[in-house]
Amino acid sequence: MFSKFLNLDKEKQDRIINAAIKEFTQKGYDRGSTNEIVKEAGISKGLLFHYFQNKKQLFLFIFDYCYEIVIDEFYKKIDFQETDFFMRMRQAIGIKVEMLATYPDIFKFIQEVFLEESAEIKVEFDKKKTEITHINIEKAYEGIDYTKFRDDVDLTKILKIINWTFEKMSDEALAQAKLSPTHEIDYLTIQREAEEYFQILTRVFYK
Amino acid sequence: MFSKFLNLDKEKQDRIINAAIKEFTQKGYDRGSTNEIVKEAGISKGLLFHYFQNKKQLFLFIFDYCYEIVIDEFYKKIDFQETDFFMRMRQAIGIKVEMLATYPDIFKFIQEVFLEESAEIKVEFDKKKTEITHINIEKAYEGIDYTKFRDDVDLTKILKIINWTFEKMSDEALAQAKLSPTHEIDYLTIQREAEEYFQILTRVFYK
Amino acid sequence: MFSKFLNLDKEKQDRIINAAIKEFTQKGYDRGSTNEIVKEAGISKGLLFHYFQNKKQLFLFIFDYCYEIVIDEFYKKIDFQETDFFMRMRQAIGIKVEMLATYPDIFKFIQEVFLEESAEIKVEFDKKKTEITHINIEKAYEGIDYTKFRDDVDLTKILKIINWTFEKMSDEALAQAKLSPTHEIDYLTIQREAEEYFQILTRVFYK
Amino acid sequence: MFSKFLNLDKEKQDRIINAAIKEFTQKGYDRGSTNEIVKEAGISKGLLFHYFQNKKQLFLFIFDYCYEIVIDEFYKKIDFQETDFFMRMRQAIGIKVEMLATYPDIFKFIQEVFLEESAEIKVEFDKKKTEITHINIEKAYEGIDYTKFRDDVDLTKILKIINWTFEKMSDEALAQAKLSPTHEIDYLTIQREAEEYFQILTRVFYK
DNA sequence: CATGAATGAGCCTTCATTCAT
DNA sequence: CATGAATGAAGGCTCATTCAT
């Protein structure tokens, strides 16, 4: 599909990818302009459409590219020896926070995608999102010792509650950051708050 | 502000409102075309801008209009005599499900707004959103008997976990529906599932 | 033609006239909006077009109205006993400067008309302008003693040169003022400069 | 800035330039329609804005283009050997009249610009106009022998009076032409009349 | 491979003017 | 007399995409 693009010398690839990330992160899919992308990347109009049939394909490629980088590094850093669910989750959150600092643009882009996706690309992405979510959960929780959870309630539902809690918590933190004047995310406060939720969830869901 | 519009005969108002809801729900703010709206509403280009100074004002008006309808009816149906938290929440979810069936367009529109908001209208809506959320929580939980909750964990956080759980649950249900061929929402299944979460949350968070 | 309008109570007439002067002075004929005029005057759209068939007629009326005020007052103040050409001219310039301070809006409007007139109204105004100019010269120089001028050159041409000199001088002064930060016109400097030109012209054109 | 446009093949450039000159000369800046220009030039909407970011830039370009042509040719034809002020001026007027016949459209356009400038472009042009005027006067009078002028009056003011005289004279001639049915300019009469003013001015301002 | 000129539908908005009330 | 809702053409401008070179 994008083999032509991938044969390009790395430096040019990067220029294009970064330009696209920047534009789409700033303006979203709909208002993101291919004009601006080629200008920023220093390539011609035609070339962009030579590699990526159209704007949508470009966007999809950029999303996959970013997602892969993030996901790969994420699993590389997870310690699969740790079998305690909450310890594993603590790790996951720590890694996420770390990566947010390392790849702020890429992360911001993925975030935007998950929020803002226009009608144009909704269908494609709704599918992609559930796919991704399913894969993640299965992989991220590999080898977990589930016997520590209380037996009187459905385990799958417990896990959902816990996941949702942390997802919503981080959503709120990001929303908060967006309202602050500096748009700065206060990672320390997030981690401290997360810890409190960990305590609660451990107490109520572990035997 | 919109007094000119509100003096119009109800039928025309409705044609315009419905056309706008339809267009914005389908295509979002940025891609939603005022051209389409006037065509669908059967009015002239100029008239729309006679009532609503510009696209943004129209969108804001439509949002407020929809939100008010939904919120008003919601609180009218809630039984504030019921002081048990989970019973109250059961009610709330029941009412929501009911309203989803009565005003599917309006509901869908509000949902879209909460997700998709373009850069153009972000600032206005981020404020509006937090405002709305705060008001709702305070009002919806009026008169609740919180003594039933266990004392060994922070009550505020418990409530957040519970809210988040149902929010995420309904998000997932809607996402599921969108993937199905008919886009039909299976309310019965949702309520049955919600009930299961109620059981779990009551068990772990009540004394 | 505008008898309907002139039968209106004076206060309303003034509101409309002032609103129109303000709008046309600020934005010129083309960009001047009848919408703004009715808003400022506090009357309805329809009424304006009831009195003045269309925008052009309104503009013409406003121009004539302003012009008459200015011209009437001008001739009332001229001392026709003074028969020396240059003394008469000194008077004229003094009166103009005075009136500029008394009716700044009206004056500014007339000035704008003489400069900016759009294609739409050019034909009508070119005629009006030459008409006006001819009338003015004839009237303003009534009773002048032309025997003081040297006989070896054509008197008509001398008068033209003198008139043109003062017209251009004031054009330049106005242009200068427009370039200054405050847009303030320095009347004193103008009169002092005019005096110098008077000296020169008297010396070279009088016997 | 306009390099894209200037790389175009000459024929297309001309089509666009001529279309723009025609439209702006006829209707002025504000009412001049880019729609009409592209229609007349036989190009697409987008292309015009590909070359010229917006209407204002287009107008500025056209003005500079026209001005340069006129000015270049003007100075090429002036005989700088001639040091007599009035002889030099006679030349200048002769050349102007000649050029008016060669480039009637361009000349008419420049003239319009100097008169009609809309609020939109006023600031840019007020600066440009004074700049241009200063350059011209300095250059056109290079090498003139000013000792022939009478010493008892300020030379600068004399020069101003003379310049203004011929400017106003040609303004009047043009205004006259516009009122005639054919809009034809009678160059012969102008030159004959100019000659009479030359005689007068020489007599009164030379020693 | 690479260019960038060219397209033209589409965008939001403004406006003078009309006309039923 | 007076209103202001209604019109719809026209405005400047943007944009993804194509294609001859």
Res A166: pLDDT = 92
Q: How far apart are CA D148 and CA B108, in angstroms?
A: 89
Which residue, among C92, C43, C85, has the nearest Cα to C207 in the 3D structure? C85
Average pLDDT score over residue span D149-165: 95
Q: Is residue C81's pLDDT more than 90?
A: yes
pLDDT over threshold 70, residue C61: yes
Which nt has its C1' nearest the CA of D12? Answer: E5
Tell me what pLDDT residue C54 has.
92
Euclidean distance between CA atoms D161 and D170, whole angstroms: 14
Mean pLDDT of C100-108: 83
The answer to whether some atom of strand F lies closer than 7 Å to the beta carbon of D180 is: no
Mutation choice for C interface testing from D153, D169, D171, D202 by most C CBs within 10 A:
D153
pLDDT > 70: what percent of chain D?
Answer: 97
Tell me the mean pLDDT in the region B80-97. 91
Q: How far is the CA of D44 from the C1' of E7 (A)?
A: 6
Tell me, what's the pLDDT at A115? 65
The mean pLDDT value of chain C amounts to 87
What is the per-residue pLDDT for A55?
93
Find the range with the poorest average confidence among C164-178, D46-60, D73-87, D137-151. C164-178
Examine chains B and A and say if they touch (3+ CB pairs below 8 A): yes
**Amino acid (one-letter) located at A33:** S
Q: Which comes out higher in pLDDT, residue A154 or B142? A: A154
pLDDT band with cut points at 50, 70 and 90 for residue B116: low
| Angstrom distance (rounded) from CA C61 to CA C50 | 14
Three-state SS across chain D? CCHHHHCCCHHHHHHHHHHHHHHHHHHHHHHCCHHHHHHHHCCCHHHHHHHCCCHHHHHHHHHHHHHHHHHHHHHHHCCCCCCCHHHHHHHHHHHHHHHHHHCHHHHHHHHHHHHHCCHHHHHHHHHHHHHHHHHHHHHHCCCCCHHHECCCCCHHHHHHHHHHHHHHHHHHHHHHHHHCCCCCCCHHHHHHHHHHHHHHHHHHHEC
> A186 burial class (0-12, 13-18, 19+ CB within 10 angstroms)?
middle
More confident residue, D182 or D102: D102
| pLDDT reported for residue B186 | 82
Asked if D164's CB is within 8 angstroms of C197's CB, the reply is no
What mean pLDDT comes out for the span D187-197? Answer: 90
Task: Say yes or no to pLDDT of B69 above 80.
Answer: yes
Of B9-23, B81-95, C109-123, C158-172, least confident by mean pLDDT is C109-123
What does pLDDT average to over chain B? 88
pLDDT tens digit string along B150-181?
999 999 999 999 999 998 898 888 777 767 77
Task: Using the structure, give the distance in angstroms from the CA atom of A39 to the C1' atom of E4, rounded to a whole number.
Answer: 12
Provide the residue ranges of all domains of chain A, joining segments of one domain with +: 62-205
Residue partners of B37: CB distance under 8 A and separation at least 6: B16, B19, B20, B23, B48, B58
Angle between helices A187-205 and A85-102 (to 10 degrees): 170
> Is 70 exceeded by the pLDDT of residue C116?
no
The predicted pLDDT at position C165 comes to 95
pLDDT at B42 over 90: yes
Report, in ranges, which bases of strand F sit under 7 Å from a protein C-beta: 1-20
For residues D179-198, give the mean pLDDT: 85
pLDDT in the model for residue A119: 66
Residue C99, pLDDT score: 86
Report residues 31-70 of B contacting strand F, contact meaning Cβ closer than 7 Å. Answer: 43-47, 50
In the predicted structure, residue C174 carries a pLDDT above the cut 80:
no
Backbone angles phi, psi at D5, to 5 degrees: -65, -40
- D40 pLDDT exceeds 70? yes
C192 has a chain D CB within 8 A of its CB: no
Q: Write down which chains contact chain A via at least 3 CB pairs under 8 A.
A: B
- Checking each nucleotide's C1' against the CA of D50, the nearest proves to be E5
Weakly modelled stretches of chain A, pLDDT under 50: none
Q: Which residue has the higher pLDDT, A203 or D3?
A: A203
CB–CB of B97/B190 below 8 Å? yes
Is any Cβ of chain B less than 8 angstroms from the Cβ of A207? no
C-alpha A22: how far from chain center: 16
